[in-house]
Amino acid sequence: MSKKHVTVAWTSGLHARPASVFTQAVAATGADVTLARPGEAPVDATSILSVMGLSVGRGEEIVLGSDDESALEQLAQLLESDLHEEV
């Protein structure tokens, strides 16, 4: 499984609406993707409750994991961009 370290740029981090946008983007890739704080156990990135449970704020680093390099790159770009430009 490949991993990619990403710094979340979204103003409100991965809470509520942004978490929903992110989990929908993950599901749209069709890939198995995990999300974790560095050094912690990964969670299923399609689960909004799991993603919100990480309590990731703006400027925090997370680790995306997947066997699909294209999905990792796409999701990393989404998280590193301004959410308001994406929706």
Integer Cα distance of 5 and 10 in angstroms = 15
Active site residues: 15
> Residue-wise over 45-66: b if at least 16 C-beta within 10 A, else e?
bbebebbbebebeeeeebbbbb
Place of tokens 């430009």: 85
